[in-house]
Amino acid sequence: MDEVAVALNKKTPISFTFRQRDYAVEEVSECWCETGRWWDSEEPAELYEVQTGTGRFLLIHPIDSTRWYGKRI
């Protein structure tokens, strides 16, 4: 999972930088929250499945963090 820079409109991702390349979000296919493996001290997170012009990505935002992570799916 790579750290990504995400631009938001309110709380919804509209673009992001992944591996030094910029992507515009064309569609947010799904958005959900996961509690994380609390027994392993994993933080709750918001997850966004997004479509860009070149593919689908999963963007993950731990709720108590300013960081975002992403991967191509």
Q: Mind listing the pLDDT tens digit for each residue in 5-62?
A: 999 999 999 999 999 999 999 999 999 999 878 788 788 999 999 999 999 999 999 9
Domain spans in the chain, listed from the N-terminal domain onward: 2-72
How many Cβ atoms sit within 10 Å of the Cβ of residue 34? 13
Mind listing the pLDDT tens digit for each residue in 54-65? 999 999 999 989
Q: What pTM, to 2 d.p., does this model score? A: 0.91
- Angle, alpha carbons 56-14-33 (nearest 5°): 70
